[in-house]
Amino acid sequence: MKRIIKILLYILIINPLLLTSCWNYREADNLTLVRGLAIDKAEDNNYLVSAETADMHEEGMEGKAKSVIIESKGETIFDAVRNAILVNVPRLYLGHTTVVVISQKLAQEGVTPVMDFLTRDHETRLEMHPVIYQGNEAKEIFKAKPFTAEIISEEIRDMLYEQKRISKAVQVQIYEFMECLASEGVSGIMPVVRLEEIAGEKVIRLCGTAVFKKDKLIGYLDEDETKYLCFVLDEVEGGVLTVNVGSKEDNGKITLEILKSKTKVKPSYKEDKITIEIKIRIRAVLDEVRTRIKFNDQKDLDELAKIAGEQLKGHIENVIKKAQNSNSDIFGFGLQVKRSLPKVWKEKGKDWDKLFRELEVNIIPDIEIVHTGLLIKSVEVGE
């Protein structure tokens, strides 16, 4: 009896110890920490994936990260990611990826395969930021010289976070883009980066928005247009509004700083026609006056607000025109129609493409200038 128990105990205790082989147990130091991915399409229809990894090394008592670029090729994106093992020993670990740079060429062909990979894999994260690279090959982006962070991907992410203050780029995450892809009546957008040369060094610059139709890239908006797009999307959290005043020759410009902006998009249906009404309410302060015109009392400010509103309206109309021309509903007007006028959408939703082209958009800006800064008068130059 005792002997049997001894044998049983042996099986019970020794076996589990032998069984605890690796499975998913992986040492963190056997992983290559990927911070950013750049995805290109090579000539032979294969994918070229460049991963920016953080190589950890210790300097004195503190750890430092160094950016190391690993390139690999494969028939699919995941194949390419795994093929990196051939180049670099530890496998690429995508759990900490923040930015995915997609080349312009690939985006023009369609981003569905990229999106599928990024959402299906359990390692990759849905809150990554997809970015379109305006240029030849996306991997070039990692050749840039970062200013603040050691790692370029982190720099791009920080830039995307920081731009909130100026609202000149959109901040999109994978799942939001996926939602745009899946639902009808809205087209996807992504921020765009490109390399620029400053003082002999290549640096990254955010430059506007990429416009998609379905999953294909069809065009770009520049920074200013992006700002007006943000007004429609109600994503403005700050930034400036320049107003031209006076005559053209005078070239007088007044800058308003936006404190708060709220946009309401309201579609209406009358007499077999869909109209979109956009109400933009902005609270701003007077920040810089580059003109001789004086603002000395409330009436002047009201006047200025009116002018600013008119100009804002004009700019936004231009952006909408541009979108209508390329037939891509980046503003989600269709979705708005579907949400507030489901019956109409059911009838007309099928040919929204056509309707969008001729959509009538009413913009009602309402700008309130809260205060004029520290000066109650404009700077007066003694004449």
Partner 1 sequence: MYKEIISQKQAIVLMITFIIGSNTILVMGGKSKQDIWIAVIFAIAAACVLVAVYARIAKLFPEKHLFEILDILFGKVFGRIIVLFFAWYLFHIGAAIVKNISEFIRIISLDSTPVCIISLMTGIVIAYAVRSGLEVMGRLISIIFPIWITGTLVLTILSIGQYDINRLKPVLYEGLEPVISDAFRLFALPFAETVVFLCFAGSFQRKSSPYKIYYYSLLVGGFYLAIVVARTVMMIGADNLSMFMYPLYVTARLIRVGNFLEKIELISAVLIISCTFTKATVYLFSFTKGVAYLFNIRDYHRIAAPSVFLASIYSIPLYESAIEMIKWAQDIFPYYSIPFQIILPVAVWITAEIKLRKNKNTTAENPQNQAM
Partner 2 sequence: MKETQTTAENNVNKSVIMLKALKDNVKQFKDIFQNDDTFMIRYFVNSYQSQIRFCLLYLEGMIDAEKIYNSIIKPLIQTNLSENKTTNIDTIMNQVIISHKVEKTQDSDALISAIIRGDSVLLMENCYDALIIASKGWKSRSTTEPEGEKVIRGPREGFVEPLMENLSMIRRRLATPDLKFKIMHIGVRTKTKLGICYIDGIANKQILGELLERLNKVKIDGILLSGSLAELIQDAPYSPFETIGSTEKPDVAAANLLEGRILVIVDGTPHVLVLPYLLEQFFQSDDDYALNFYFSSFSRMLRVLSFILTVTAPAIYVALLTYHQEMIPTPLLMSILAARQGIPFPTIVETLGLILAFEVLRETGIRMPVSLATALSILGALVLGTAAVEARIVSATVIIVVALTGLTGLMTQKLKSPVVVIRIFLTILAGLMGIYGVLYGIILVLTHLCTIRSFGVPYLMSYTSLRPEDLLDTAMRTPIWFLKKRPRFISSSNKIRQANRRGN
Partner 3 sequence: MVLTSSLVIITALIIIDLIPIYRDQQWKAFFVYCFFLTIFLILAVLMEYNVKIPSPAEPIRSIVSFIFGFEQS
Q: By the criterion CB under 8 A, which residues form the site for partner 2? A: 20, 24-29, 31, 33, 35, 54, 56-58, 62-65, 93, 95-96, 98, 123, 125
Is residue 22 near partner 3 by the rule CB under 8 A? no
* Least distance from partner 3 to the Cβ atom of residue 6, Å: 11
The one-letter code for the residue type at 249 is E
* Least distance from partner 3 to the Cβ atom of residue 3, Å: 14
* Least distance from partner 2 to the Cβ atom of residue 369, Å: 42
Residue in 2, 3, 11, 120 binding partner 3, rule: CB under 8 A: 11
Q: Which is nearer to partner 2, 93 or 356 (CB)?
A: 93
DSSP strand pairing (360-369 vs 216-221):
unpaired
Residue in 65, 178, 240, 355 binding partner 1, rule: CB under 8 A: 178
Q: CB under 8 A: which stretch of 74-82, 287-295, 299-307, 336-344 binds partner 1?
A: 336-344
Residue in 2, 3, 6, 16 binding partner 3, rule: CB under 8 A: 16
Q: Which is nearer to partner 3, 21 or 247 (CB)?
A: 21
Q: CB under 8 A: which stretch of 3-11, 69-77, 81-89, 342-350 binds partner 1?
A: 342-350
Q: Which residues of 346-379 are buried (b: 16+ CB within 10 A; e: fewer)?
A: eebeeebeebbeebebebebebebeebeeeeebe
Q: CB under 8 A: which stretch of 75-83, 199-207, 332-340, 353-361 binds partner 1?
A: 332-340
Long-range Cβ contact pairs of 39-43 (< 8 A, separation 24 or more)? 39/77, 39/100, 39/101, 39/102, 39/103, 39/106, 39/114, 39/138, 40/103, 40/105, 40/106, 40/137, 40/138, 40/139, 41/103, 41/105, 41/106, 41/109, 42/73
95 DSSP 8-state letter: G
In the three-class reduction of DSSP (H, G, I as helix; E, B as strand; rest coil), residue 36 is classed as: strand
Q: CA 209 to CA 189: how far, in whole Å?
A: 7
142 DSSP 8-state letter: G
Residue 28 interacts, among partner 3, partner 1, partner 2, none and using kind-specific CB cut-offs from 5 to 8 Å, with partner 2
Is residue 19 near partner 3 by the rule CB under 8 A? yes
Q: CA 316 to CA 234: how far, in whole Å?
A: 13
Q: Which is nearer to partner 1, 1 or 25 (CB)?
A: 25
In the three-class reduction of DSSP (H, G, I as helix; E, B as strand; rest coil), residue 4 is classed as: helix
* Least distance from partner 3 to the Cβ atom of residue 226, Å: 43
Is residue 8 near partner 3 by the rule CB under 8 A? yes
Cα 139–chain centre separation: 19
* Least distance from partner 3 to the Cβ atom of residue 82, Å: 24
Residue 127 interacts, among partner 3, partner 1, partner 2, none and using kind-specific CB cut-offs from 5 to 8 Å, with partner 1
CB 102 within 8 A of CB 131: yes
Is residue 122 near partner 1 by the rule CB under 8 A? yes
Phi then psi for 77, rounded to 5 degrees?
A: -65, -45
Residues that bind partner 3 (CB under 8 A): 5, 8, 11-12, 15-16, 19
